[in-house]
Amino acid sequence: MHFLRATPILGALLAQALAALVLAGLLQVLPELAGRFGIAPVIGAALVLQALLSAGLTRALGLAVWWQWIALAFPFAVALALAAGSLPAWPFGLAFLLLYLFFSNTARERVPLYLSNRATTGALGRLMRERSASHFIDLGSGLGGVVRGIAGDGRKAEGYETAPMAFLISAILSKLTGRGQIYRRDIWSADITEADLVYVFLSPEPMPMIHDKARREMKPGSLLVSNSFAIPGLDADEIWDLSDRRKTRLYLYAMKG
């Protein structure tokens, strides 16, 4: 399960494949149903069933909520692609633009849009209180939920995000709630020298570079916390296993200076 959460696209594909197997077992009654109701309603029902089964399996595998939405949409997207000869091109261009606005970091920095849940935000808040920490930074802050959850009660919380739509949404929500500050700046140019706790939820690929940045820039006694992805070749000072549905694991690394 942890491997699938670390490489969620494999989990999403597995969910689609398992749902398709279940659907294939029902195809033996397809001719009878098609004769009774017509082929179009039967195909529509099959698409709905594939979408619901795959979304349920994606949830059962513990993947992020947005992967469940992708699982729901995927069968219909495939059906539309197969019918593309009779469709205008603009919906596909619009879909590509939306994907870029939300997931541009995936291609450029190998960092997908992972959203931290409330259990993780609560654990980070508890960690801040235990350490009497006052300055929190989220590198790759997504929609900014963690930043807004940590800010307040004397704590300064900042987030760094470059995906255009994710930044825009998080910056607006931060302004409206008066909680935290979001910067449109890549994680490598972020100033983390004064941070008491730096949080990342990225992917396995950038973790060695994140460690190098933290080791160079973070002050002694500060803490680097990584959600789900450990730093290769380095033992964490602490590992927190949360009791949420996703089975979140936080790796804590104390900075020695």
pLDDT digits (tens, 9 = 90+) for 209-242: 999 999 999 999 999 999 999 999 999 999 999 9
Gyration radius from the chain CA atoms: 21
- Give the integer Cα–Cα distance in Å for 111 and 185: 14
pLDDT tens for each residue of 85-102: 555 555 555 555 555 555
Could you give the angle at which helices 65-82 and 39-60 cross, rounded to 10 degrees?
A: 150
pLDDT tens for each residue of 115-141: 789 999 999 999 999 999 999 999 999
39-52 residue pLDDT tens: 566 667 777 888 88
In this structure, are residues 97 and 59 in contact, taking their beta carbons and an 8 Å threshold?
A: no
Count CB-CB contacts under 10 A for residue 96: 10
User: What is the pTM (predicted TM-score) of this model?
Assistant: 0.64
